[in-house]
Structures are given as structure tokens and as C-alpha cells.
Homo-oligomer: A and B are copies of this chain.
Amino acid sequence: MDTMENRTEISSLGEFGLIEHLTNNIELQNASSIVGVGDDAAVIDHFGKQTVITTDLLIEGVHFDLMYTPLKHLGYKSVIVNLSDIYAMNATPTQITMSVGISNRFSLEAIDEFYEGVYAACEKYGVDLIGGDTASSQKGFIISVTAIGEVTPEKFVKRSTAQKGDLLCVSGDLGAAYVGLLFLEREKKIFVENPSIQPDLEGEAYVVGRLLKPEARKNIIEFLEGQSITPTAMMDISDGLSSEILHICKQSNLGCILYEDKIPVAEDTKNAAFKFEIDPTACALSGGEDYELLFTIPQSDYNKIVLSEEISVIGYMTDAAEGAKIITKGNNTYPITAQGWDALKK
């Protein structure tokens, strides 16, 4: 790999040289990007639309492990997870800012790989990189992304506006990224104990891919718009289905019924979960990092979504007094509890 053969020290460029190197090929694509990289701040004009903003801080050793995360994938994913939040507001992403903290462990070639992924995501989703910051870090790689989007006034969709009786829907399938993580953690452990053993991920391309190279659900937002559906509430699934459903219930002051047998889980995910002797449903409920969309729609919109293979109806909203409940495949009813990833819990 070039990364190993050629090593250019970042210090040889200096901060301004590095920024110039990383940003000199940018061509702004969006009419809303008025001023991009190279001034005190960027300028945006959404021309009568509202502006949507979200931000994420990703820290090596906490949010990602560079032992099994290629830097290009990391750059791609760090953009995607923020775009996912913009789509979850029923908005269209238009710009990002990207800040990185880099220790001297990283070469310029390594940073270039990371930015290759960043720009690949920008190109695929039609967003402009308009600013950011580069800093040295004492230890590890630090990423801070802010994504900016636009939405027609009042068309944004919050978490707090689901209505009693609404159908609870989810895009795609769930739990794959978590099982992918289990595989990569297992192979890492084996490798650390015996570096001569090569990783065995045969057959796990789907689950590993869902973890390392997620996509944001632009196509679902476009589908809903094409069907003239405005969800009553929506959010993306980053912490596991249980946790997200409870957010919508709490913020909308409602309860819900969730049917276990309606939760979409891919065959590859089920097979992979069985290898670890874990329940695929548990992966969907508590795994996280799916970046699918969870949303509610009026029952009257059911006919508009029933033919979509990408959308599953998994339950419906009830009164708050009835609580948030799951009905299992064995027809037992339990309260939904959030066991999702909680970064600050020991």
C-alpha cells in the first residue's frame, strides 16, 4: 500500500498548507453555497427555505477502531451519519464542515485516504464541503462533522408530533451493523493474540459492510415525497430500535405496540447472529448504527407505502397510558426498554 511506502509528515506542510492540500480541488455544487473554504466563515443562502443543522463528534477508541476501519471508509461514514440526521428531519443535505484532530502518528497519505472517503460521500449525496478546522491532537484521531441541509418552511418532521393510531414504520433492515461489529471485534481479538492468523470474514460481507460503509436514506425521503407522504414524526436509528421508539413515544407523549415478527432483519444478519448464538431481534432492538429511518404515518397513508419493499410497518402508536410495548413472536407482551449504546455509561 502507498500508505506504507510513502510517508509524508503533516508537519512538513504546516496547518495552512494542509488545509490548502485537502481543499484545493473543491468545486461547489450547490447554488446555496455562496462562500466556501478559505475565509473566517462560510456563507449559505437557502433562498427562502429553512436551514437544518446537526453535528457529531467521533473519537478514536470510542466511536471507531482503526485496527479494522479503513480510513477511507471512516471518512465516508463520518459524513453519512450526519447526512442521516438531516434526512431524518425530512430535509435535503446541502453542505458539511469537517474538522479533524490528528496526532503525528498519521501521515499525509493517511489523511488523504480519510478525505477521499469524505469527498466520495459529498459527491454521492450532492453536498459541498464548505469549512472546517484542522488541529493536532496529543493522541488519536478526532472527527467533528457539522451537516447543513434545507427544507421548505414547516415541512421538517420532528420526533414529537406522532399521533395516536399512526403506523410505526422503518426503512430497510436492522441489526446488521451490530453483528458486523461482533465479527470484527472477534477477528481483532484473534489477530492480537496471534498476528499470523488472517481475518476470517467469509460470508459476512453484508453485515460488515453495513457497519463500515453505511448509507443515508436519501431514497426513502425521495420515495415519501413522491408519494406525497409527510411523516407525522421521524428520526434515524443510530442507537437501536428500542431506544429510538422510546424517544418518539416520550417526545410525542404516546405509547405504542411493536410486533417482533414485523421487525425487518436480513437473512445474512440472522445467519450471522446465530453464529454468535444471539437473538437477531435483540440485535435490531439494541444494536444501533443502522442509519435506517423510523417514522410514523397516518393509517390513511398505508396504501401508499404497502408496495415498497424498503418500508416495513412494525406497529402503531397508542395512548401514553398504555406504555411502549412489544408483542413477541410467542405472543407475549413486554414493555420496551432501552438497552441501546450509551456512550457515557460504564
**A169 interface hit (Cβ, 8 Å):** no
A309 CB, nearest partner CB in chain B, Å = 25
A281 within 8 A of partner (CB): no
Contacts of A42 in B (CB 8 A): 52-54
Q: B41 touching A89 by the CB < 8 A rule?
A: yes
- The segment from A56-64, A205-213, A258-266 that touches chain B is A56-64
Query: How far in angstroms is the closest Cβ of chain B from A304?
Result: 23
Which one of B11, B41, B62 contacts A138 once the chains associate, using CB atoms below 8 Å?
B62
Query: Does A142 lie at the interface of the complex (its beta carbon under 8 Å from any beta carbon of B)?
Result: yes
Interface check A251, CB cutoff 8 A: yes
Indicate whether A136 reaches chain B with its CB closer than 8 angstroms.
Answer: yes
Within 8 A of B (CB), among A48-104: 48, 50-63, 85-86, 88-89, 91, 95, 97, 99-102
- Selected interface stretch from A112-120, A125-133, A220-228: A125-133
Question: B142–A41 contact, CB under 8 A?
Answer: no
The residues of B that contact A46 with a CB separation of less than 8 Å are: 51
Picked from B52, B59, B342, B346, the residue with its CB within 8 Å of the CB of A142 is: B59
From B45, B56, B159, A50 is in contact (CB under 8 Å) with B45
Binary contact track A317-346/B, C-beta < 8 Å → 1, others 0: 000000000000000000000000011111
- Give every chain B residue within 8 A of A51 (Cβ-Cβ): 43-46, 51, 148
- CB atoms of B59 and A101 under 8 A apart: yes
- A59→B138 CA distance, assembly (Å): 8
A279 contacts partner chain B, Cβ-Cβ < 8 Å: no
Contact indicator B53/A236 (Cβ below 8 Å): no
The distance in angstroms between the C-alpha atoms of A2 and B140, with both chains bound, is: 32
From residue A102, how far is it (CB to closest CB) to chain B in Å? 8
Q: Mark A220-246, 1 if CB is under 8 A from B, else 0.
A: 000000000000001110000000000
The answer to whether A342 and B14 have CB atoms under 8 Å apart is yes
State whether the Cβ of A15 lies closer than 8 Å to any Cβ in chain B: yes
Residue numbers in B under 8 Å from A346 (CB-CB): 11
Interface pairs A-B: 4 shortest CB-CB: A41-B54, A144-B144, A40-B88, A57-B99
Q: A11-B345, A34-B50, A51-B51 are in contact. List 6 more A-B contacts (CB 8 A).
A: A40-B88, A42-B54, A55-B146, A57-B142, A144-B144, A146-B146
